[in-house]
Amino acid sequence: MYNVHMKRVTASDARKNWFRLLDEVAAGATVVIERAGRRILLKREVDVELETPDYSLVIRVPDVSGGDRWGWLWKGEEGDVTLEGTE
């Protein structure tokens, strides 16, 4: 069980101090805004560091960094695919 301290404010107080509340949330605080018996949770989105997938096992070409200079060419009914523009 986690006991998390959340700042609670009314909607009127949130309106009066909106930018201060945004600064607090940006710094990591969680704020609950209460209006008409309902609670609205205001919290910063979790920072997610996404890794670039490794496509080396899927795409095999001589020079990946030159991808803007080469392409795949489909020929014929058999579905022959050749790499062109790598000269």
Residue 55 lies in a domain: no
Residue 16 sits in a domain whose CATH number is 3.40.1620
Q: Which domain holds residue 20?
A: 7-42
Residue 27 lies in a domain: yes
On whether the CB atoms of residues 35 and 11 are closer than 8 A, the answer is yes
Mean pLDDT of all residues belonging to the chain: 79
All residues at 6 or more sequence positions from 8 whose CB lies less than 8 Å from its CB, including other chains: 31, 32, 34
Residue 56 lies in a domain: no
pTM exceeds cut of 0.75: no
Residue 68 lies in a domain: no
Summarised one tens digit per residue, pLDDT across range 72-82 is 677 766 667 66
Percent helix / strand / coil, the chain, rounded to 5:
20, 30, 50
Summarised one tens digit per residue, pLDDT across range 20-45 is 999 999 998 999 999 999 999 999 98
Number of domains making up the chain: 1
